[in-house]
Amino acid sequence: MFSVAIDGPAGAGKSSVAKAAAQELGFVYVDTGALYRTVALYLLRHGINPKDSEAVEPVLSEIQVDLEHTSEGQKMFLCGEDVTGLIRTPEVSMAASDCSALPVVRAFLLDLQRDLARRNNVLMDGRDIGSVVLPNAELKIFLTASPEERAKRRMLQLQEAGNPADFETILKDIQQRDYQDSHRAAAPLKQAEDAVLLDTTEIDLQQSVKVLLELVKERRGA
């Protein structure tokens, strides 16, 4: 199996780049943020503080997280319910960032992620894929862009989806999540030593995908 680990901050375009490249390569695209979001949704629904490890730990055994890869993309199921659309709200984003800082939650989702990479050629995106989940991935990419550029892209996405939001609010949200994700003790967001840095501030989606595909080709040939 061939694994590509793609890590980077929120809104850097990891999922768009990984999705397009996976289609081109015939690999499975795994969005690991969706796993944390699904756990977060359960916690919000049950009134459990996503920062409180002691409250979260006992309920993890009740949380059944499944994912399905379809032609429309990755679907997420929480205890059998399709929650694919429900996990994309700002409230769930923040709760996902909160609960992802808990080592118990990270441990809970680790095997599921590793198992997917054992059974498929994957392009897996997240925050700690190259550093923790798949330390032996054949290719590791750290995909980033400036916070302002990421906020601009998110604003356009939201506009297109009919949910316009203010640039400053989005930028603040991105900066807060960047800080939380990179300052937590458990598996913080950081570039793995052997990861290739791909800064997309100045390049578009197509160019980013092209760079990624060339890197995969190079490593597969090696």
Q: What's the Cα-to-Cα distance from 87 to each of 46, 129, 180, 189, 219, rounded to whole Å? A: 15, 21, 19, 21, 34
Distance CA 80, CA 163 (A): 28
Q: Is 67 in the site for ligand DC (CB under 6 A)?
A: no
For residue 25, state whether it binds ligand DC (rule: CB under 6 A): no
Neighbours of 171 (CB within 10 A): 18
Restricting to residues 167-196, name those near ligand DC by CB under 6 A. 177, 181
Kindly tell me which residue out of 3, 74, 84, 100 binds ligand DC, with binding defined by CB under 6 A: 100
| In the complex, minimum distance from the CB of residue 10 to ligand DC, in angstroms, rounded to a whole number | 4
Chosen residue from 36, 42, 108, 142 binding ligand DC by CB under 6 A: 36
Cβ nearer to ligand DC, comparing 27 with 38 = 38
10 is a contact residue toward ligand DC (CB under 6 A): yes
Rounded CA separation 24/124 (Å): 15
Query: Under the criterion CB under 6 A, does residue 13 sit at the interface with ligand DC?
Result: no
Nearer to ligand DC, 28 or 218 (CB): 28
Q: How many residues bind ligand DC (CB under 6 A)?
A: 14
CA distances (Å), origin 33, targets 6, 7, 108, 205: 12, 11, 14, 20
Near ligand DC by CB under 6 A: residue from 17, 18, 128, 145: 128
Residue type, 157: Q
**From the CB of residue 44, how many other CB atoms can be counted at a distance below 10 Å?**
18
Report if residue 131 touches ligand DC, rule: CB under 6 A: no
Cβ 94 to ligand DC shortest distance, Å = 8
CB-CB contact of 118 with 3 (8 Å): no
Nearer to ligand DC, 3 or 32 (CB): 32
The yes or no reply on residue 126 touching ligand DC (CB under 6 A) is yes
78 SS3 class = strand
Residue 144 touches ligand DC, criterion: CB under 6 A: no
Residues 6+ positions from 172 with CB-CB distance below 8 Å: none
**Contact flag: residue 97 with ligand DC (CB under 6 A):** yes
38 part of the interface to ligand DC, by CB under 6 A:
no
Please state at what angle helix 33-45 crosses helix 90-99, rounded to 10 degrees: 100
Q: Which residues bind ligand DC (CB under 6 A)?
A: 10, 32-33, 36-37, 96-97, 100, 126-129, 177, 181
